Amino acid sequence: MSADDASIESIEYDGESPGDKTLRISFSEKTRFDVRPGSDNNSLRVRVFLEPAADSSDRADATASTRLQRRPAVPGPDYVINLESWQRPPVTADMPRIALPKDKRVFVSEVEIDGATWYRVRVGNYGSAEEAARALAELRAQYPDAWIDRADAGTGSRTSDTPVPVPVEPPVPVAASDETAAKAAELMNDARRAMTVGELSRAVQIYTKVLQMPSNVHQPDAQEFLALARERNGQIAHAKAEYQRYLDVYPDEEGAERVEQRLAALLATAGTRRSTTAAAGGAPAGGRNALTDGWNIRTFLSQYYRRDANQVNDEEEIVSQSSIYSDISLDARRRGERFDFSARLTAGYRSNLLDDTRPSSGNDLRLSYAYADLADARTGLRGRIGRQTRNTGGVLGRFDGVNLTYALNDRLRFEAVAGRPVYSTARDPADSRVFQGLSSTFAPFANNLDFGLFFIEQEIDGLTDRQAVGAEVRYFGDNQSLWSIVDYDIEFEELGSLFVQGSWRLPANFTVTGVLDRRRSPFLSLGNALVGQQLESFEELRLFFTEEEIRQFALDRSASTTTYTFGVSRPFSPKLSMNFNASISSIDATPESGGVTATPDSEYSYYSADVVASSLFTEGDVGILGFRYAVSGTTDVYSTTIDTRFPVGRGWRISPRLRVDYREINTDQSTQWIYTPGLRAQYRMGRHARFELQTGKQFSTREMARSDQDRESWFVYAGYQLFY
């Protein structure tokens, strides 16, 4: 007799309960057995008395008689289907008469909701949500109100499960309709072709689709090939989970042994052991909950060439830029059950191909990221040290330093940060500023509300450069969203910045949006006192001015800017949408002080409308027609933009575009027409390479009182990106 014939459903050991450690063997059907201690007092012997099933003994292999029924991966199948719920204990007549696979059972669980006891008639367990969904699709005909629940949901269906005698009919294979089977076969052929030509992502999508169909004979193969496609696609964590899912859902299929070998090979390759928490059908993502992976190293390389040239009135063409930009990024990661380590190095180099001796036009080496990061899943601690970037907690972008995080749970985190701001990735951080800060993010009131609070202090040459407190709130509802960030400098007793963005969906699919952005520009800090000064360092500034004077200069140089933006958008059909926007910006005047001249206030506003339409000429294309009117103190600009995008084949995207501007220049009463045609093409080659070419030319004619001025300029960007 094979273990399969013994109908052992699971063998579980619960060692978590003090004083109540239990070994539990579950059978999928009524079984006679006895239990005896082993002769050596180190073992337990369970004798199972079953009539061998005639149809299964033939196919039991030689090893099956000694093989343990494979234990469901801990914490076990996660999903059940709730068929019906009663407010009285169900009797036998209430039990469903349905055909179930051998590894599924009907059971009753109790749950108390609002003081009332409900008895749930359920089927389970299912190793994955997808498997449960497929089963649900078949059960819906008999049980239209059936629904899926997690077996470990708060109602504790697993712990309170009460198996009951159920008139389960002998298992019969669920026959798919001819139509379903034919469609599945067609998809399998498509997927096979995709695999053959290396379109692995497409194959993954097709196999997934087959698995989402009603139960059919192709699904075991689809599951296996889905895993294989992911493996070939380099998605090892996914592949492992998909192989594991195959073993959970189709343990008796002829491919089970082969799949087991492949999974073992993957695990061996990773040089790791299989975790006791390896999730059968569980999320392949995240990794922490699934498997212990080895090093994962990724490299990104991109290069592009950029050339800008212009010509005025038939004079000689002047090339203003001819450079090659090269960027490389190395990411290394090692994930364990407890620790997650990652490191990143991102650097770029600009090669100036022009014979130019200006100081600003030389070659540049840029270092954007150089950090190591370690996270401890057990304690919730995480630390990152090195060059990094952050825009929350009062930190203003890139810095060299350390960031420590303690996550109490998903909803509450505390962070501490200290470092030196990096204002340029191309130069050594000669600035003497250092900062330290504390922050917290939490979501105490509602599911879709996040709050953040911070305190930050920054010093420059021993003086307080900025000392700020601030808050952030994010809210996303079904019909509204709100995001607000406020930064108040307690040293200057001035508002540093206020950003509020809100959107609201109204009836008839109108969406109105608004943004308020008020800030000091540059961002309020004592170091701003250097702006406009002939001195080279803050240290020199301190030699000539008192601290109070420097503080006043900093305020004087930090102009208040305010921008209000409003918009309305609405789709008029699935292929056509429109949006209207209006924006008003103002910059306050700054006074003369410290030898720096005053600046007048200014205002800028624009009004725009865009129409977006798809499938104009071919399926998948899109055309965007935009109008814009912008007005400032010196110029009124009317613009029209036509932007079209066409998919060509599977890899190409072509985007011809045209922009026409008409300018009225108030300072000399001249007018100017500007025509800018352009073309952008992108080609994706497989998974690891992309190419892009963008070129455009601008023709402009300016009609002035005494003469006209014609100008032409053109540009080209061409580059590629590789990652592996």
Partner 1 sequence: MNTRLKLSSVFLAALLLSGCVSTSVLVEEKLDLGTGVTVTHATAPIVLYRDNSAYAAHARDYVYVGPVEINRMGDYSYYLWLGIWSTVSDEERSYQRDGFESITLFADGEPLQLELVGWTLESIGVSEPVYVKPVASAADAYYRVTIDQIRVIANASEIELHAGTAPVRVYLMWDRQGSAHASMREFVDRGLFGATALHRP
Nearer to partner 1, 125 or 639 (CB): 639
Nearer to partner 1, 566 or 699 (CB): 566
- Whether 241 and 231 have beta carbons less than 8 Å apart is answered as no
CB of 184 to partner 1, least distance (A): 12
With 0-12 / 13-18 / 19 or more C-beta atoms within 10 angstroms meaning exposed / middle / buried, residue 335 is: buried
302 to 361, contacts with partner 1 by CB under 8 A?
Answer: 302, 304-306, 325, 327, 331, 333, 335, 340, 342
Q: Which two three-digit tokens encode residue 239?
A: 């592949």
547 to 576, contacts with partner 1 by CB under 8 A?
Answer: 562, 564-569, 571, 573-576
Q: Does 482 bind partner 1 (CB under 8 A)?
A: yes
Q: Does 512 bind partner 1 (CB under 8 A)?
A: yes
Nearer to partner 1, 523 or 545 (CB): 523
State which H helix or E strand residue 325 sits in: strand 318-335
646 to 665, contacts with partner 1 by CB under 8 A?
Answer: 647, 653, 655, 657, 659
Pairing type for strands 381-390 and 162-163 reads unpaired
- Count the Cβ atoms, other than its own, within 10 Å of residue 707: 8
Q: Does 372 bind partner 1 (CB under 8 A)?
A: no
Q: Does 645 bind partner 1 (CB under 8 A)?
A: yes
Q: Does 698 bind partner 1 (CB under 8 A)?
A: no
Which residues contact residue 548 at a Cβ distance below 8 angstroms, ignoring those fewer than 6 apart?
Answer: none
Distance CA 523, CA 526 (A): 10
Selected binder of partner 1 within 25, 137, 416, 495 (CB under 8 A): 137
Selected binder of partner 1 within 108, 187, 204, 596 (CB under 8 A): 204
With 0-12 / 13-18 / 19 or more C-beta atoms within 10 angstroms meaning exposed / middle / buried, residue 254 is: exposed
Selected binder of partner 1 within 3, 48, 612, 674 (CB under 8 A): 612
CB of 190 to partner 1, least distance (A): 15
CB of 581 to partner 1, least distance (A): 5
- Count the Cβ atoms, other than its own, within 10 Å of residue 556: 20
CA 616-617-621 angle, 5° bins: 70
Distance CA 191, CA 176 (A): 20
Q: Does 465 bind partner 1 (CB under 8 A)?
A: no
Pairing type for strands 318-335 and 295-312 reads antiparallel
CB of 45 to partner 1, least distance (A): 41
- Residue where the block lists tokens 């496609």: 229
Nearer to partner 1, 7 or 558 (CB): 558
208 to 227, contacts with partner 1 by CB under 8 A?
Answer: 208, 212-214
Nearer to partner 1, 130 or 431 (CB): 130
| Site map (CB under 8 A) of partner 1, residues 245-284, x = contact | --------------------------------------xx
- Count the Cβ atoms, other than its own, within 10 Å of residue 89: 12
Give the interface segment with partner 1, choosing from 98-106, 167-175, 264-272, 619-627 (CB under 8 A): 619-627
405 to 424, contacts with partner 1 by CB under 8 A?
Answer: 405, 407, 410-413
Q: How far is CA 92 from the centre of its chain?
A: 49
Q: Does 599 bind partner 1 (CB under 8 A)?
A: no
Give the interface segment with partner 1, choosing from 206-214, 248-256, 312-320, 526-534 (CB under 8 A): 206-214
Give the interface segment with partner 1, choosing from 52-60, 359-367, 539-547, 577-585 (CB under 8 A): 577-585
Nearer to partner 1, 586 or 599 (CB): 586
Which residues contact residue 354 at a Cβ distance below 8 angstroms, ignoring those fewer than 6 apart?
Answer: 319, 321, 322, 323, 361
Selected binder of partner 1 within 375, 417, 530, 596 (CB under 8 A): 375
Q: Which amino acid is at 223?
A: Q
Site for partner 1 (CB under 8 A): how many residues? 158
CB of 633 to partner 1, least distance (A): 15
Task: Give me the helix-helix angle, 178-196 and 200-212, nearest 10°.
Answer: 160
Nearer to partner 1, 241 or 267 (CB): 241
Distance CA 251, CA 67 (A): 13
Distance CA 311, CA 699 (A): 10
- Residue where the block lists tokens 């892009």: 692
Q: Does 238 bind partner 1 (CB under 8 A)?
A: yes
User: Coil, strand, or helix at residue 435?
Assistant: strand
